Amino acid sequence: MTKRNKEVLTMIKVDLITGFLGSGKTTFIRKYASYLVEQGMKVGIIENDFGAINVDMVMLSDLDSERCDVEQIVGGNVETDWKRRFKAKLIAMAMQGFQRVVVEPSGIYDVDAFFDVLYEEPVSNWYEPGNIFTITDARMEKNLSRQARYLMTSQIANAGAIVLSKTQDATPQEIQETIKGLNQLLEEFHCNRKLTEEVFAKPWDELTGEDYEKLVSCGWHSADHEKLWFDQNDAFTSLFFMDVQLSAQAIQGTVEKLFADEKCGHIFRIKGFVHQEDG
């Protein structure tokens, strides 16, 4: 076998970063992708957001470099659309010399869609599953709908590592309650997996090289669970406002009122950018 043939047969690992709305996936990707680049890897990042504009891609744009390319999937709130666009993006990136591709889909995401694409030709000729991470707030939201609980279950059931975010703001008891809550989700949807050492509960600024090496090699799990069929667009709605002419102070006050007003429904997150006077 020639050297060229060996290079052609080298599979590109695809890491999936899952997590519910507002859990901190984008912040984790910044740290994780930076570590991979520091190790000499050429990394591709694929971004897809549930909203009308990909705010997360803007937040990762400074990672764009010779060794890190940030791409996006536009739209794709319907699973079939997302899979088609994800497949097309992977095919387009296959010959660009990436050693690792990191994917951040919407927080409204069933992990089965990831495997459906990777195991389909011609994608399966170049790519293989690498690691699956689920990012979870250390103080997990308790008032979740059944659809939301199912989506979280589909993510943690397959994750090689569950990485708790914002642990610096949580007490040890709150962290234990979150781990207990995650295991209860697995039980609710009849998954025989129980989380133990797969949970990383450490402030991200304190992660060491040894921690990252464990994450890079965490892999993924194949765990069956009950399927719940529903239209994601019926369960979750995204509203988009462009060029809002409000000061940062006025926006902060408005956001606080929205979260406090029950008539506004159950809001998971508000995110975006505002131009301030100081630039």
What confidence tens digit (pLDDT) does each residue in 94-129 have?
A: 989 999 999 988 756 778 889 999 999 999 999 999
Average pLDDT, the chain: 85
Q: How far apart are CA 111 and CA 153, in angstroms?
A: 10
Looking at the chain, the whole-number percentage of residues with pLDDT higher than 70 is 85
Q: What angle do CA 269, 272, 274 make, to 5 degrees?
A: 135
Asked if 240 and 51 touch (Cβ cutoff 8 Å), the reply is: yes
Q: With 80 as the cut, is the pLDDT of residue 141 above it?
A: yes
- Whether the pLDDT of residue 4 is over 60: the answer is no
Token look-up 């965490």 returns 218
Q: What is residue 251's predicted lDDT score, i.e. its pLDDT? A: 87
Residue range 206-246, pLDDT digits in tens: 999 999 999 999 999 988 989 887 666 666 677 777 777 88
**Which pLDDT value is given to residue 134?**
95
In this prediction, residues 16-30 reach a mean pLDDT of 87
- Alpha-carbon span 252 to 51, nearest angstrom: 20
- Rounded (10°) angle between helices 209-216 and 25-38: 100
Q: What is the pLDDT of residue 245?
A: 81
Residue 54 has pLDDT above 60, yes or no: no
Window from 70-74, 112-116, 122-126, 273-277 with minimum mean pLDDT: 273-277
User: What confidence score (pLDDT) does residue 121 get?
Assistant: 94
- What pLDDT is stored for residue 227 in this prediction? 86
- The pLDDT of residue 234 is 62
Q: What is the mean pLDDT of residues 154-161?
A: 93
pLDDT on residue 229: 78
The residue that leads in pLDDT, 271 or 118, is 118
Whether the per-residue pLDDT at 36 is higher than 60: the answer is: yes
pLDDT of residue 34 exceeding 80, the answer is yes
Model confidence at 61, in pLDDT bands (50, 70, 90)? low
Strand order across the beta sheet in which 12-19 lies: 68-72, 43-47, 100-104, 12-19, 127-137, 161-165, 199-200
Side chain identity, residue 131? N
First to last CA, the chain: 57
